[in-house]
Structure 1
Amino acid sequence: MEELCRSHTYKSMKPLLDYFRQVRNELDQSEIKEKQISEINSDLMNKYHEIVKIHEKQISEINSDVMNKYHEIVGIHEKLMKEAFQLDEYKNEILRKENDLQLCQSKVDKLESDINSQQTTINKLTLHANFLASYDKCKEELSDKSDHLEICEDQSKKLNSSIIEKDEKISRYSATIQNITEHQKIISSKLEERQAMLKKKDKDIEICHAEITKLNRTSHLNIPSSCLPFGEHSGVHEIKVSGVGFFDVLCDSQLAGPGWIVIQQRIGGKENFTRDWATYRKGFGPLDSDFFLGLEKMYRLTRLQQYELYIHLVVLNGSIFYAQYDDFKISDEDHGYALSLGKFKGNIRDAMRFHENKKFTTFDRDNDSADNNCAVVYNSGWWYQNCSYSILNALYGVYLNWWTEIRNQLKEAKMLIRPKEKIIY
């Protein structure tokens, strides 16, 4: 490659070198002419000095003998005129040489421009050499890829053989599918018969729904006012309470036996308990998540019969605690839904006793005895005193607590109520 590059470079540079030699010869000739011009100028100066001397001598001779030398002066004058003419010719020739010299200078400038362009060409050739090096590298990579291509061709042959086997399987499957299609037609005919039967049953169901609707219109007369009639059937049920009407409640028969209504539940922290008075009065939250049944419903449930309260607590390590009160009720709204508990039993300290006879407090209705609004401090409504020993409506996490023994450890809390005796419904 170096020999090819050298020969290619010599072929491209040879005309330029020849041109350089021609320019060099012209420059040498120009130097010779300039030397001749300088010699002519030197001769002219010498002759000029001689003429001056002769002229001075002639003047002196004329002064001494003007008349005798008159004819000689005329001859000398003619000679001087001739030499002056020659001097003008020499000057013109010098001007021509100067013009030639300027032309040579312009040629030199052009040559320099050509040299620069040739230098650019040389740089491009250098890049070309680099490209050839890259070409060799690509050639090696191409060889590697060719080997990889051969491997791929072998794999392709194997795949083709596999495809042929699969085609044979497909032909067998096609026969099977044809049999299945015929069987499907038989099933479709049977399905049509079944659909006709279903349509007939749908009509019967519509008639039954109409009858059920009629029954539902009269069944509200027998809707219970607690979860006791539902026994072991936990879940959401509809009850009717005087002063409130019909509403759904979550019945629980797993934690402490049958008949319990869940009035408050914290099991995941998805619900916001920073609510105003009107929202706590009405209740909020879905029954399958965190919720608060509502102060007015609690008041209506507990005002006509004695209810007991059961509080279920689960801490982070899985331990379970409970607190139970035998006479839970709250006052009406005019008296602030004040809390009443009754006797206590449980496997944890009686923290709710600190809140007994206290009115309910929210951030927009301050009924506690603290200097600040406790509902604002703890971001939740509760039966605060100054402020609390237990806050089961607080922010889920660090503030949800029951006394100091399990403070900041609660992960689940539920409040449930149940009538002490069965009521007529």
Structure 2
Amino acid sequence: MNNFVLYLILILAIILNGVSITTAANENETVIVDQEMEQEYGSFTNRIVNPLIDYIRELEAELDKRKLKDKEIKDLKEKLIKHESNEAIIKELRSQIVDLHNSCNDFRKELVNNTLQLEMCENQLRTLNSSIIENGKVMTNLTVRDNKGAISLNTTLLQLENNQDNVLKEELDPRLCQIDVSYPFAKSLGIRTINVPGIDSFDVQCDSATIGFGWTIIQRRFKEDVNFNRNWASYREGFGTFAGDFFLGLEKIHRLTNSGRYELYVHMEDSLGKIVHSRYDNFKIAGEDDDYVLSSLGQFTGNSDQMRRFEHMKFSTFDHDRDSLENGNCAVMWVSGWWHGDCRSNNLNGVCANTKKCGAIYSGVKMLIRPKEEVKIKK
């Protein structure tokens, strides 16, 4: 455009110069002719040349504006490209954050399991150490007695151990634990095999020392030698040993409590010997299709209605979440399977601390059931 303007000015200069030469060659013409020529060419300049120059300038200004807009459009395109690139980066970062969060949850679960196993090992070591110390004391006491007394004491101890190791197994009615078992089994280990409709025969442990005859233990914790953070299948079938801590199994408890009317007794004792107890006259849980919901407790007697807040709750484990909490799993939070509600309450299967306090506050916990109507059964 600048070159075009220069060419136009050059042409105008030549025309004007030609006019000057023509004017000089005719110096003898009259002054009137010169004036008319000057007026004519001046009028030509005003009418043709000046408007043309103004138009050219307007074109130059318009081109400058278009160049400025082109630059703005280019800048906007570059910003758009950067924005799209940032969106992709943000999306990738969010995906990485989700992956990290999932990894942290997996690590947290693994840490909880490892911590629980470590606590169990520590408790076992303390128990073994206490047993060694007690055995040492017993041996010391035995050595200071005369031979006759020592032999008599050893014989008595062996008889008691043999009585505890003998398993009383008879395939009878599930109410077998109601038999008035005579000494020494009235206050020690008594295991019997029972038949219940809908399931194969299985062993139960009877308890005649806690609250009288006829009770079957369905859960016990006092040694802390068993991990209660189990999956759904383990709680369904049961786990542990009758010599230590155990859980009888949800399916067995369901079959028992649905074969007749059963009462439940919960016995809890702290480290100072204080006993908290709850008794319910119509304990029943539903089957697996209903997530073993605690469907009934009945009327309460005792000094602490501990189980009432779990009534009508479904059973939950870390791999079978059926609690009422929308976000989270109470079984993971309390590290145990139970009839969890909204996670605000600990439970009798919860983690025990180093002070050997089960269910957060108790050193010993036991759950027992028996038929509501006492029936005597012959051996």
Question: What is the TM-score with the length of structure 1 in the denominator?
Answer: 0.45
Greater relative CO, 1 or 2 (CA 8 Å, sep 6+): 2
Larger radius of gyration: 1
